[in-house]
Amino acid sequence: MFNYQGKNVVVVGGTNGINLGIACAFAKVGANVAVASRNMDKVNTALALLQQTNPKGKHIGVSFDVRDSDAVASGFNSIADQYNTIDILISGAAGNFPSRAKDLSVNGFKSVMDIDLLGSFQVIKQAYPLLTKGNASVIQISAPQAYVPMALQVHVCAAKAGVDMLTRTLAMEWGVEGIRVNSIVPGPIEETEGFDRLAPSKALKSMIADSVPLKRNGQKQDIANAALFLASDMASYITGTILPVDGGWSLGGAGAAMDALAKHLPQ
Ligand code: COA
Ligand code: NAP
């Protein structure tokens, strides 16, 4: 259905979970894929998986912390050495842990803001000079927390709301250059670190599934499919969109489900 042969895709935070699923989905349809994250072992494991998925692709692994501007700049320099241009940028690095606002230190709040919001800006800013003018796609990985207030998530709600405003603002500024900027909003996704942290037991996961209108939690492939579509020519008139891929969770069930979930944590 999709052909990304010869396209250069960079997935920041692409060495695990949802973002690794996206990286592999692009590799599977012919793309060259670069992945970046902090941990070099994770980078190497992801790289091996990409090579296995698409042996003909030119895949790259780089290590940086999105909070370190020099490291991000140097990571993108290494990517530029191998790919002259970037067709698709996925910005998905994030941090999350459940905490009541009263128990969250200022530094805990700041850590998530620094990774999710400032880190995303840093990544997109460094990638900008390399983006193929006329036909590039930037996709940020947001979360329902961006527009649904949730218990235990004050830091993530504030950060992801900012991420979506980055998306909308950059879409305004960069449309004239043929750069589309969109957000994908995953719902609760099975077998991921993010979901395990919020709903650490099978019982809590099925309680969440029950609060989703489609009555199931999502799969990594659900998010990868949306990324393949949004980056494609089929979506060439779509920019500045915040696309929920959440089974309808953010229509109403999400806030109430997190309220219920909070009762399972010690006060
Ligand atoms: N509850 C409350 N506060 C917490 C916390 C928790 N579970 N985990 C970390 N914090 C606080 C720390 O106490 C610290 O604040 P302090 O200095 O006032 O004590 C602050 O957050 C930074 O913690 P630290 O462990 O030094 O951060 P880090 O930079 O090494 O890691 C995190 C960043 C905390 C976001 C870490 O969980 C991480 O790396 N996450 C990436 C993976 C992930 O979250 N995946 C899900 C994506 S949705
Ligand atoms: P994950 O498995 O924890 O993956 C996070 C990735 O980001 C890892 O590759 C991690 O690798 C990297 N990363 C973390 N901090 C980083 C930093 N400071 N600098 C560079 N890289 C960093 O997460 P996930 O659960 O799949 O979530 C992926 C994305 O989807 C996130 O943006 C999250 O907010 C969003 N989301 C997830 C869910 C869900 O159900 N899981 C729901 C809604 C939204 P290193 O450790 O090597 O750095």
Measured distance CA(193)–CA(184) in Å, rounded: 18
Residue 267 has pLDDT above 90, yes or no: no
Task: List Cβ neighbours of 244 (8 Å cut-off, separation of 6 or more).
Answer: 144, 185, 187, 250
pLDDT at 144: 98
Cα of 53 from ligand 1 centre, angstroms = 32
Write down the pTM of the prediction. Answer: 0.99
Nearest CA to ligand 1 atom 41: 95
**What is the domain partition of the chain in residue ranges?**
8-262
Which atom of ligand 1 is nearest to 197's Cα? 46
8-262: CATH class:
alpha beta
Residue nearest (by alpha carbon) to ligand 2 atom 29:
92
Which of 15, 22, 111 maximizes ligand 1 atoms within 8 Å of its Cβ, making it the mutation to test the pocket? 111
Q: Which atom of ligand 1 is nearest to the CA of 105?
A: 18
The rounded Å distance from CA 182 to ligand 2 centre is 18
pLDDT tens-digit profile of 126-157? 999 999 999 999 999 999 999 999 999 999 99
Measure the N-to-C terminal CA separation of the chain; round to a whole number of Å: 50
Instruction: Output the pLDDT for position 162.
Output: 99
Check if 97 has its Cβ closer than 6 Å to any atom of ligand 1: yes
